[in-house]
Amino acid sequence: MFSFLCRYFNPGPSNDLSASFSDDRSSLYATDKSDYLIGEPLFVTLVLRNIGEVPQWVDFGPSNLFCSNFAVEIPGANSKLEQWGCGTAGSCARALREVPAGKSISVRQLVNREFRLEQSGVYVIRVRTTLTIRNENLFNSPPTTQFDVSDNLSATVQPGSEDQLKDVFKPFVINLDSSDLAQISEAATAIIVSAPPSLEDVLIKLVNTPSAFAAMDALRKANTPKTRDALAQNAAGNSTLVVRLEAIRNLGRTGDTKYLPMLLEMMKSDNAQIKGAAAQAVGTLAGEAAVQDVTALVRNIDVETRQTGANALEYTHARTAVPTLIGLLLDPNPSIRQTAVAGLAVLTHRVVLDGNRWAEISMPQDAISVHQKWTLWWNSHADSAEIHGMNDCVAPIALN
């Protein structure tokens, strides 16, 4: 007969409480300690031990948690998730976790990834998940049991000096050179998500690791001269293409116009992906001043180049980009027309509706009708319409 033991995670020897999943739905979560500095990584941990005689596989859910094993709420804490762009894409390649017979696994989640614990005081951390236990390493295998587990934890956060915060991060920095891949991954995540600008050299070191892609975002947030230069070096071609593209995008969000000439030069690249990322970065960095350079792309006879320009216009946060996007509603290519609709929605928070749905523009005659409505609206609102940016995406309202 199979059963699990759930054990509070605690580095000390005094806490050895356990309970069978089948008999007890009580607390399964814990933090490493009770007191933290502002900016210190805070993990929630769940330890599962298989006391049965055969291996079992665990899935954490529900599936809408996306890249997280636990759903976390912290009343009074601000979200750390940046709003940039309209929509989320990507995959976390979720997999079942094996718990060998007689063995334990530890599942840890970094709270700081989602929340800013910036004020002194006691925070309540509400954690919940659904555990699904299976006999096989297959998502479609019948579950042997499934249940929800939740708890309210607490952590006290207080200010600390820069030296104290550096000391807190020392174990994570050391673990970057560990032979344990799990320790390396956890250390890199903690540093990328939470490290203060004073650890800029450590962040730059991560560029040469498997965490390089995520490190690009961390370099931008650190926003020191050294980290911005590191972004520029990676954008210039010192990395793989996927990291280079991420460096270009983040370089555009630094606000440092020193890098504008380099990004403008990258807009001439023969590589479509480099050209596209650079055009978006130029739009983000230069704003209104970028519209002329980006508009030059949409006037090109080449469809791919026009698409690059159309994609970049919505990044400019510029009133002068709107007429160009309205003109693109008549482009011969339906994909470019659709990009224009999306760009107008970002900049104006408006969209032409047909009933409760966005008006169809796949056919030229439909696009003409939508173009006419936008032209009439813009003629009346060109000077008064509020213009929005990529960090201000909401559901658009009907054009009227």
pLDDT of 267:
95
CA distance 228 to 216: 10
Classify 349 in phi/psi space as left (phi over 0), alpha (psi -120 to 50) or beta.
left
- Going by pLDDT thresholds of 50, 70 and 90, the confidence category of residue 175 is very high
Mean pLDDT confidence for 330-344: 96
Domain(s) of CATH 1.25.10: residues in the chain: 161-237
Q: Is a pLDDT exceeding 70 seen at residue 24?
A: no
Can you say whether the dihedral through the CA atoms of 115, 120, 126, 131 is positive or negative?
positive
Which residues of 135-179 form beta strands (DSSP E)?
143-158
CB 107 within 8 A of CB 60: yes
Distances (CA, A) of 12 to 49, 110, 170: 18, 21, 21
C-alpha distances in Å from residue 62, one per residue of 149, 345, 366? 12, 32, 41
- Give the CATH architecture of domain 161-237: Alpha Horseshoe (1.25)
pTM over 0.95: no
* Euclidean distance between CA atoms 228 and 251, whole angstroms: 7
Q: What is the phi/psi pair of residue 268, to 5°?
A: -95, 0
- The pLDDT score that the predictor gives to residue 4 is 45
- pLDDT tens-digit series, residues 61-108: 775 565 788 889 999 999 888 777 755 444 555 688 899 998 888 889
Would the pLDDT of 165 be above 50?
yes
What pLDDT sits at residue 63? Answer: 56
pLDDT confidence of 159, banded at 50, 70, 90? very high
What is the model's pLDDT at position 13?
29
Query: Higher model confidence: residue 46 or residue 319?
Result: 319
Residue among 229, 195, 232 at smallest CA distance from 211: 195
Specify the residue for token string 């980009």. 321
- Count of CB atoms situated within 10 Å of the CB of 237: 12
Segments of the chain assigned to CATH 2.60.40.10: 4-160
Please provide the distance, in angstroms rounded to a whole number, between the alpha carbons at the two ends of the chain: 66
At 211, list the tokens: 């965490």
* 4-160 CATH: 2.60.40.10
